[in-house]
Amino acid sequence: MSKTRFLGIEFGRGLSTYAVILVHSGDETWGLPISSIAIEFRHLFYFAVPFFLATAFYFVTTKSEIGYSRKFWQSRVERILIPYVTWSMLFLISRVIVFTLTHKPNRVQQLLQDPLSLVFMGGVSYHLYFLPLLFAGTVLTLLMPLLDRLKVRGYRLGLISMLGVSLYWLLEATGNSFQLGEDIAFEKLLGAWGINFEQYPGLRLVMVEVAWVIRCLPYFLISLSLNWHPQQMKYLLAKIQPTGWITLFVLCNLLGRKFLPGALSELLLAYSLLFSCLSVSNYFAASFSERFMISVGACSFGIYLIHPFIMNTVKPVVTHLWFDTSSAISVASMLVISIPTFLFSWLLVAYLAKSKNKFKHWLGI
């Protein structure tokens, strides 16, 4: 992949990381009333996780033999599981300390009563679920050598991709997808059969993993199609100007969830942003923009991991010095919380990454 194309992806990663922070600066976990305008504004930034999945699978499907590579799986452990375990422990310890100091023993008990969620589903902090989700989906790369050996190309791969999209749509439409905050999946389906997760806790974990693999399946197959048909990729990028891809992304973001099934809207949003980032890369060739994009892209994963700590520091400071964010959530409150949170998180991650090499594993750099 060319250097300029890399810069466009780094820009998308930085943009998506900020989108995550903005969404978390005005979600329901704050326990505050949210204006309807703020909810609509927040919806415009839901492209982050879909873009992260599209980008991850776009790069991971570049080589058909990668799924059987020991080096590849070692890198997945270092870049996904080590940061996940590290930050789960950090968030768990910090929450226990805070709840203890604020005399909330019931919150400590509530936090510790579900070890299955804490260990496997990112239950200690709402944003950590993405890491086990991504690792579960990475298992799909084991199919690549088989598909390559069977010469699954062209329309066959297209049909399988459509099947993957349909399966994900069915999961979403029936309400059996993974429920963030409750850490369950297929509850409706199994409930109709009289099966209760409280009776079979191990089954709950299996169902969550299955739901995560199904969610990642269309991303894996679509990305595989793009990498196994590079001439079509080049044609699309050459034929459609950056303004075309950006317009498609904006339209999907504004209208997709209103007029299209959720799964299809999500995938169009993810890949229209991916192609937008690839197509605008040549515009980031100047030396300043190059350094800027490389920095924000390299730090994006670390910013994603650390931002709740920074947000919990920024919020009371902003409330005390300038803007009341403690009574209700508005567009203004989300902006005054998210912008400094992103900037301070970026500065801290950049400093940690340069100061000690060991921090790179913690930050996924």
Residue 56 and residue 12 in contact, taking contact as beta carbons nearer than 8 Å: no
Mean pLDDT of 132-153: 90
**pLDDT, tens digit, 9 for 90 and up, residues 69-116:** 888 899 899 899 999 999 999 999 999 998 888 888 888 888 888 888
How many angstroms separate the CA atoms of 11 and 7, rounded?
6
Q: How far apart are CA 269 and CA 48, in angstroms?
A: 10
**What pLDDT does 232 receive?**
80
What's the chain's average pLDDT?
A: 88
Reported as a pLDDT band with limits 50, 70 and 90, residue 47 is very high
Contact indicator for 123, 183 with CB cutoff of 8 Å: yes
Please state, in angstroms and rounded to a whole number, the distance separating the CA atoms of residues 328 and 28: 11
Evaluate if residue 130 carries a pLDDT over 90. Answer: yes
Q: What phi and psi, each to the nearest 5 degrees, are found at residue 174?
A: -90, 0
* Number of domains into which the chain is organized: 1
pLDDT > 70? residue 357? no
Structural contact between residues 352 and 299, judged by C-beta atoms closer than 8 angstroms: no
Residues of the chain with pLDDT > 70, as a percent, come to 94
Cα-Cα-Cα-Cα torsion 236, 146, 160, 129, nearest 10 degrees, comes to: -90
**Over the stretch 173-216, which tens digit does the pLDDT of each residue have?**
999 999 887 888 998 898 888 888 877 888 999 999 999 999 99
**pLDDT of 1 higher than 50:** no
Which residues does 76 contact at the CB level (< 8 Å), separation at least 6? 135, 138
Q: Is the pLDDT of residue 41 over 50?
A: yes
CB of 122 closer than 8 Å to CB of 111: no
- Mention every residue, 6+ apart, whose C-beta is less than 8 A from residue 5: 278, 281
Write the pLDDT tens digit of every residue in 302-319: 999 999 999 999 988 887
User: Token match 């199904």: residue?
Assistant: 214
Q: What global pTM score does this model have?
A: 0.92
Cα–Cα distance measured from residue 71 to residue 55, given in angstroms and rounded to the nearest whole number = 20
- CA separation (Å) from 70 to 76, 133, 256? 10, 21, 40
- Write out the residue range of the structural domain in which residue 188 sits: 3-363
Q: Is 349 exposed, middle or buried (0-12, 13-18, 19+ CB in 10 A)?
A: buried
Beta bridge partners of 34: 329
- Direct distance between the N- and C-terminal alpha carbons of the chain, in angstroms, rounded to an integer: 19
Mean pLDDT for 3-25 is 87
